[in-house]
């Protein structure tokens, strides 16, 4: 069993063969996926996928890159959608200081709003953090995000940052980069993460693992992430899959 805890199967990269891609993932042992809707365009398509496939769940939220586009009524929309039995998290939310599309103060305000919503709904959050480790951790602490926990998606920070996130009850999720030859830091962090706080993902169509790097990523490739993770952890592949799948089910409260 494999659980791809973060994917974007509604992305236009899959417009020509989406059903085949989903079928291929199932053939490779992927039994659950969480598709992430992160703005006005992708939330509806994410919901459609979750409603069509029993094994696809949804996370809905407002991405920091798109924070400038968020209107007051959008937070109410997310809150309403969160009542759907296939919606398992608020996300992806957070901060992105790499792309200069939304001012930092706007990103932080939208981030805080959505943490507050997750606390009201008692739902986990999926965190996007790019080049903003210090501010992400600070805001998570100030907004009492430990009350709901969630996932540090595609974790790329140091072990020091990882420890602070673990202390707040978060899971750390790893994807394609742990298969890259020169990706030293995520490999070192993964080894230290307690087994009961470890998740895997693809973030497809992005962050394609070796040996397909440079090509479109897809959920079936989470198997390659699991193989690399098992090797780094020094455990059997089947055991690594069991642990990460059980963690995903627990984190998202999937019954």
- pLDDT for residue 255: 78
Residue with tokens 């039995």: 85
- pLDDT for residue 100: 82
- pLDDT for residue 249: 98
Pairwise CA distance, residues 67 & 232, whole Å: 36
Q: pLDDT tens digits, the chain, 255 residues: what are they?
A: 999 999 999 999 999 999 999 999 999 999 999 999 999 999 999 999 999 999 999 999 999 999 999 999 999 999 999 999 999 999 999 999 999 899 999 999 999 999 999 999 999 999 999 999 999 999 999 999 999 999 999 999 999 999 999 999 999 999 999 999 999 999 999 999 999 999 999 999 999 999 999 999 999 999 999 999 999 999 999 999 999 999 999 999 997
36 neighbors 56 (Cβ within 8 angstroms): no
């Amino acid at each position: 069993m494999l659980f791809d805890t973060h994917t974007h199967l509604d992305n236009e990269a899959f417009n020509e063969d989406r059903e085949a891609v989903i079928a291929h993932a199932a053939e490779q042992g992927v039994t659950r996926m969480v598709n992430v809707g992160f703005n006005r365009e992708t939330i509806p398509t994410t919901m459609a996928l979750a409603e069509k496939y029993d094994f696809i769940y949804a996370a809905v939220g407002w991405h920091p890159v798109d924070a400038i586009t968020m209107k007051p009524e959008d937070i109410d929309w997310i809150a309403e959608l969160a009542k759907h039995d296939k919606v398992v998290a608020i996300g992806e939310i957070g901060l992105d200081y790499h792309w200069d599309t939304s001012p930092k103060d706007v990103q932080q305000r939208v981030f805080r709003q959505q943490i507050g919503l997750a606390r009201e709904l008692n739902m986990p959050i999926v965190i996007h953090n790019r080049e903003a480790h210090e501010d992400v951790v600070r805001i998570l602490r100030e907004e009492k995000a430990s009350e709901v926990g969630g996932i540090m998606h595609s974790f790329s920070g140091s072990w020091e940052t990882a420890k602070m996130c673990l202390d707040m009850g978060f899971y750390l999720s790893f994807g394609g980069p742990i298969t890259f030859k020169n990706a030293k830091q995520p490999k070192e962090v993964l080894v230290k993460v307690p087994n009961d706080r470890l998740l895997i993902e693809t973030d497809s169509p992005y962050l394609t693992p070796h040996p397909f790097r440079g090509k479109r990523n897809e959920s079936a490739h989470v198997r390659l992430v699991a193989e690399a993770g098992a090797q780094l952890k020094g455990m059997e592949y089947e055991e690594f899959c069991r642990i990460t799948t059980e963690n995903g089910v627990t984190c998202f409260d999937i019954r």
